[in-house]
Amino acid sequence: MQNKYEHIQQEAYEANMQLPKLGLVLFTFGNVSAADRDLGVFAIKPSGIPYEELTPAKMVIVDFDANTVKGSLRPSSDTKTHAVLYKHWDRINGIAHTHSIYATAWAQSLRDIPIYGTTHADHITCDVPCAPPMNDEMIKGNYEYETGFQIMNALKEKGLRYEEVEMILVGNHAPFTWGKTAAKAVYNSAVLENIAQMAYLTESIKADSLRLKEALIKKHYERKHGPDSYYGQQ
């Protein structure tokens, strides 16, 4: 019998398996999902299963209201956050969440990561935003659901578009990243960890570090992502 979700289960599986390879997770502290817009669902890592025991078939299929559609395992405890973001941001098909060391330390510090260099500007043109912690009512309420709104509101308040800024820190918690595919979301998680470590060291080396100037930010972003970009093939 045909399994019509096989392609996103495979995609989610492969993307999840990249997390330990890239050094972004300890034990099971991370999860990636892959969505199919036509089917209106996403495949996500089951909760608390060690990476070495994962298989594509174990990826749980969930709809954008966080209802499990297929799968006998319980989906990631962060599933509602994924669902909310997919529901409201219709151009993304992948989301990743890790507790990677440096990005999490910035999240715990409740600070945006300042844009200090071109490694950062190659990917986004603003500081990496840090969403403020929720108020106590939201925490006691539908916590993971509210986390999704906390992320969306933080972008909105800073005037940022999710199509361009594919990463955020959730204050006191850890980073979330997204993209056109699950693989791109994981790529963004690795880039964010890289940027977070460099920014930490930059401030340690020079206490009063200056943010990158606008011309350089624009140049580096445009050469990778602008209409006349010349990075990569095509």
Residues that bind a second copy (CB under 8 A): 26-27, 29, 46-49, 73-74, 77, 99, 101-102, 104-111, 116-119, 122, 133-134, 136, 139-140, 143, 172-174, 187, 190-191, 194, 197-206, 209-210, 212-213, 215-216, 219, 223-224, 230-234
Give the whole-angstrom CA distance, residue 197 versus residue 113: 10
Q: How far apart are CA 22 and CA 170, in angstroms?
A: 21
Residue of 36, 51, 63, 122 marked active site: 122
Sequential DSSP letters for 158-225: TT--TTT--EEEETTS-EEEEESSHHHHHHHHHHHHHHHHHHHHHHHH-TTPPPPPHHHHHHHHHHHH
* Minimal distance, residue 111 CB to a second copy, in Å: 6
Beta strands in 47-194 (DSSP E): 60-63, 68-70, 94-98, 130-131, 167-170, 175-179
Nearer to a second copy, 10 or 109 (CB): 109
The total number of residues shown for the chain amounts to: 234
17 versus 73: smaller Cβ distance to a second copy: 73
Minimum CB separation from a second copy for residue 17, in Å?
15
- Of 94, 178, 175, 187, nearest to 128 by C-alpha is 175
**Nearest-approach distance from CB 223 to a second copy, in angstroms:** 6
What are the tokens at 66? 């966080």
- The token duo for 87 is 């529901």
Whether 221 sits among the annotated catalytic residues: the reply is no
* Nearest distance from C-beta of residue 2 to a second copy, angstroms: 27
Active site residue 231: yes
Taking the least distance from each CB to a second copy, the nearer of 55 and 233 is 233
**CA nearest to 32, candidates 76, 84, 69:** 76
| Structural contact between residues 129 and 48, judged by C-beta atoms closer than 8 angstroms | no
Instruction: Please report how close the Cβ of residue 158 comes to a second copy at its closest, in angstroms.
Output: 19
Closer Cβ to a second copy, 158 or 223, answer by number: 223
Cβ closest to a second copy, residue 39 vs residue 183: 183
* Catalytic residue numbers, as ranges: 122, 231
